[in-house]
Amino acid sequence: MPISWTSEQVIAQAPDESSVKAGRGLASPAKWVSSGYDDRAVWGECKGSGKLPYQVSIELAEPAFKCSCPSRKFPCKHGLGLFLLYAAAQLKEGSAPDFCAEWLAKRSATEERKNEKAAAETTPEEDAKREKARLKRVADREAKVAAGLAELELWLGDLVRQGLATAQNQPTEYWEKTAKRLIDAQSPNAARLVRNLSSLVYRKDKYGERLAGKLLEQIGRLYLVCESWRRLAELPEAVRADVKTAVGFTVKEDELTAAETIEDVWQVHGIRVYEEEKLRVQRIWLAGETSGRRALVLNFAFRNQPLDVGFTAGTRIRAALAFYPGNFPQRAFVKERFEAANLDALAAFDDFDALLGDYAAALAKNVWLETFPAMIRRAVPVRRGAAWFLRDETGKLLPLEADEAALWKLDAVCGDRPTAIFSEWDGETLRPLTVWSDGKPIRL
C-alpha cells in the first residue's frame, strides 16, 4: 500500500456527521459486489437502491472521489464506506476495472487542460481596460477603509478615555455598531477584532485583572492597525501586506503570480475545522522537511459544501506551496501537489522555550499574528487543580484549551507517557489537534 490511512483520517474527509454515519454503514465487505485497490486508486461497486450497483473510485494521492450515485454530498457515503474498508485493510490488491481506469485517465487529461487554459493569453486592450477598472476599485476601497479606520481610532480614544469599567456596562450594540461600520468600510478583519473585544468584555470569568490586561493588549493591537494604515506608504512592502491582511483585505490565489513558492515534502501536523459566520473553516498546518518552513493552508466552505480533503493529519505530501505576502509569511495555498506518503520523523520543537522563542521572532515580524503551529516532540497533558496544561520535557507548563471530550481523549491516548502533540498556540493557550500514539496520529 502506498500510504496507510486510518479510519480517523477517512472520517475527516466527510462533509458532515450524517455522511459519516451512512459511510460507516457501508464499510462492510458484504455491501460491495466487487472491490480492490492498486498503487494509485481504490475501487468498488456498491449495491444501492437502483438496478445497477454504484461504481466508486478513489484516487489516493489527493484523495479524490468519484461515484455514480446521484448524491450531492461530496464525498458521498459510498466513497467514504469504501475508503473506510480500505483503511481497515479489508480490500484485496488487483488491477483497476474499466470504470476506474477511465476516470483516472480523464482526471489526468483535465489537469493538463487546466494548465493549458491558464497559459492562454488575452489582448492588450482588454488588459488595459481591466487594469483601469481594477485600479478604480482599489482606490475606492482604500478611501472607504481610511474613513472607517479614522472613525475606529476616535472610538478607541473614547473607549480608553471613558474607561474599560464604563465599557463593561455598555450594551452589546455599543460594540456591534462599531463592528458593522467597519464591515461597511470593507474592513472585515478589523471588525472581527472589535467583536473579539466585546466577547472578552462579557467573559466574566476567572481572569479578573488579567482580563483587563488582555483587553488593553488587543485595544493596542487594533490601534496599531489604524496608525499603520495612516502611514502605509512609509512601510516596507511586506509589512504593508500584513497591515492589509489585518484590515481584512484578501488576495485571490490567482493574483499571487509573484508569490514565493516552495516545493518541499510537507508534514501535515494538524487540521482544525470550525464554523465561523455560517462558513466552515478548515485550517491545515504544514511543516516543510527541508525548508524548515511552517505553513497554514486555509479552506472555506458553505455548510454542506465539501472542504479540501487532500490533507490528512499525520501524513506527508510533496507539494509546491505559494505563500501569501507578508513580513512573516505563514499562510499559503497549494499550487501543485504530488505523491503522499506516511510520516516517520516529525519536524518538532524540543521544548516550550524553543516554541516561544520562534513565536516571539514571528511576532516581531508580524504583531497581528494570531495562531502559531506548536508541534512539541515530547509532552504530556497534566492537570493542576481544575486546569489542564501541557508539560514539556524540561518540566514547564503551558495551558491547554479544548472541549472536555478532546482533553480526556488526549489524556487517554498519552497515558502520562510523553508523546508528540501538535497544537495551535494563540499566545495564551494551546489547542491540541493531533496526538501521536506509537507513531500513529490521532485527531482530537
- For another protein, the binding residues in 79-108 under the rule CB under 8 A are 84-85, 87-90
Q: How far is the CB of 223 from another protein (least distance, A)?
A: 4
> Is 437 a binder of another protein (CB under 8 A)?
yes
Q: Is 441 exposed, middle or buried (0-12, 13-18, 19+ CB in 10 A)?
A: buried
Give the one residue of 163, 171, 208, 292 binding another protein; rule: CB under 8 A: 163
> Is 162 a binder of another protein (CB under 8 A)?
yes
Per the CB < 8 A criterion, the answer to whether 309 and 331 are in contact is no
> Is 203 a binder of another protein (CB under 8 A)?
no
Q: Do the strands 315-323 and 260-276 form a parallel or antiparallel pair, or are they unpaired?
A: antiparallel
- The strand pairing partners of 3, in sequence order, are none
b/e burial code for range 34-62 (CB count within 10 A of at least 16 → b): ebbbbeebbbbbbebeeeebbbbbbbbbe
Cell of 117: 487554459
Pick the stretch among 1-9, 142-150, 299-307, 331-339 that binds another protein (CB under 8 A).
1-9
Give the one residue of 33, 138, 160, 279 binding another protein; rule: CB under 8 A: 160
Pick the stretch among 171-179, 184-192, 340-348, 407-415 that binds another protein (CB under 8 A).
407-415
> Is 230 a binder of another protein (CB under 8 A)?
no
Give the one residue of 138, 303, 412, 439 binding another protein; rule: CB under 8 A: 412
Per the CB < 8 A criterion, the answer to whether 269 and 291 are in contact is no
Q: How far is the CB of 111 from another protein (least distance, A)?
A: 32
* DSSP at 119: H
Closer residue to another protein in complex, CB, 126/217: 217
Cell of 181: 461600520
38 Cβ neighbours under 8 A, 6+ residues apart: 93, 94, 95, 96
- Tell me if the bond preceding 63 is cis, omega within 30° of 0: yes
> Is 397 a binder of another protein (CB under 8 A)?
yes
Give the one residue of 17, 116, 125, 403 binding another protein; rule: CB under 8 A: 17
Whole-angstrom distance, CA of residue 311 vs CA of residue 313: 7
Give the one residue of 24, 144, 180, 331 binding another protein; rule: CB under 8 A: 24
Q: Within positions 271 to 330, which residues make up the interface with another protein, using CB under 8 A?
A: none
Taking residue 341's Cβ as centre, other Cβ atoms within 10 Å add up to 14
> Is 20 a binder of another protein (CB under 8 A)?
yes
Pick the stretch among 115-123, 231-239, 294-302, 351-359 that binds another protein (CB under 8 A).
351-359
Give the one residue of 21, 47, 137, 203 binding another protein; rule: CB under 8 A: 21
Contacts with another protein, 414-433, as mask; x by CB under 8 A: -xxx---------xx-----
Q: Where are the beta strands (DSSP E) in 161-278?
A: 260-276
Pick the stretch among 178-186, 239-247, 248-256, 387-395 that binds another protein (CB under 8 A).
387-395
> Is 395 a binder of another protein (CB under 8 A)?
yes
> Rounded to the nearest 5 degrees, what angle is found at the Cα of 46, between the Cα atoms of 43 and 51?
130
Selection from 394, 392, 391 nearest residue 383 by Cα: 391
Taking residue 443's Cβ as centre, other Cβ atoms within 10 Å add up to 21
Q: Within positions 235 to 264, which residues make up the interface with another protein, using CB under 8 A?
A: none
> Is 371 a binder of another protein (CB under 8 A)?
no
> Is 165 a binder of another protein (CB under 8 A)?
yes
Give the one residue of 2, 50, 94, 157 binding another protein; rule: CB under 8 A: 157
Give the one residue of 297, 413, 421, 433 binding another protein; rule: CB under 8 A: 413
Selection from 369, 386, 263, 382 nearest residue 320 by Cα: 263
> Is 402 a binder of another protein (CB under 8 A)?
no
Taking residue 333's Cβ as centre, other Cβ atoms within 10 Å add up to 18
Pick the stretch among 18-26, 51-59, 99-107, 120-128 that binds another protein (CB under 8 A).
18-26
Closer residue to another protein in complex, CB, 275/403: 403
Question: How many residues bind another protein, per CB under 8 A?
Answer: 73
Q: Do the strands 331-342 and 294-302 form a parallel or antiparallel pair, or are they unpaired?
A: parallel
Q: Helix or strand or coil: residue 229?
A: helix
Cell of 302: 458553505
Q: How far is the CB of 296 from another protein (least distance, A)?
A: 19
Pick the stretch among 17-25, 189-197, 299-307, 329-337 that binds another protein (CB under 8 A).
17-25
Q: Is 289 exposed, middle or buried (0-12, 13-18, 19+ CB in 10 A)?
A: middle
> Is 139 a binder of another protein (CB under 8 A)?
no
Residue with cell 506518503: 341
Closer residue to another protein in complex, CB, 103/349: 349
Pick the stretch among 38-46, 94-102, 251-259, 397-405 that binds another protein (CB under 8 A).
397-405
Count of all residues that appear for the chain in the document: 444
